[in-house]
Amino acid sequence: MQLYTIFPKKNINVDFSFNLKGNNKDSILDYFKFNIDDNFLKKPRINLTYDGEFESQLSKILDADFYFSSSGILLFSKKFLEISQDKLKEEALFFPCLINNTPSEIYALYIKNSIDFLDNKSLDCYKDISYKYIFRDKLKPYIYGVTDEFKKMVIENNLKMQFLELYNIDNMGNIYFILE
């Protein structure tokens, strides 16, 4: 099994990202990236903004199914939500996002499950996750991985995003992470 990270489709400007807007940024980051605070759930509102210089490119950017976020929060399209929601119901939660206080078709994804995959130097920790699509690292919860099954779901449904392998495996079965 391979593990991947996700990127927007190739023709998206790499300088573009959505930014969090509003006075609840810290509770959003604590909940989504660090898995340490449920205050966000008391008033689950995610308001995004972007640099105005990208206004003319926004429709092209929104044509993708995964979006860059300067905060590192995983942002997906409504199409991705509709295709994946049933498959990911045990592993993730989706939250609707606003763009500059206006409803949008972007959804933030919260990853429920975690495993110790960054510090594990063998494939043993992956034997139990073959049924999973997405997870975060236990010690560094802001780092996530998606599985071959996740990638397969994306490809089969022609979703617009790309993948980068997180590790290489040598002939002894040892894992060497590319991204850390």
Report pLDDT digits (tens) over 69-100. 999 999 999 999 999 999 999 999 999 999 99
Return the pLDDT at 180. 38
Compare 34 and 175 and report the one with higher pLDDT: 34
Number of domains within the chain: 1
Q: Which residue has the higher pLDDT, 57 or 169?
A: 57
DSSP lists the bridge partners of residue 19 as 49
What is the SS3 assignment for the chain?
CCCEEEEECCCCCCCCCEEEECCCHHHHHHHHCCCCCCHHHHCCCEEEECCHHHHHHHHHHHCCCEECECCCCEEEEHHHHHHHHHHHCCCEEEEEEEECCEEEEEEEEEECCEECCCCCCCCHHHHHHCCCCEEEECCCCCCEEECHHHHHHHHHCCCCEEEEECEEECCCCCEEECCC
Instruction: Note the pLDDT tens digit of each residue in 93-107.
Output: 999 999 999 999 999
- pLDDT band per the 50, 70, 90 thresholds, residue 168: low
Residues found in the chain: 180
CB 178 within 8 A of CB 166: yes
The DSSP bridge partners found for residue 168 are 176
Facing residues of 107 across strands? 76, 96
| pLDDT of 10 | 85
Rounded mean pLDDT, 9-31 = 91
Mean per-residue pLDDT for 15-42? 91
User: What is the model's pTM?
Assistant: 0.88
Look up the domain containing 37 and give its range.
4-177
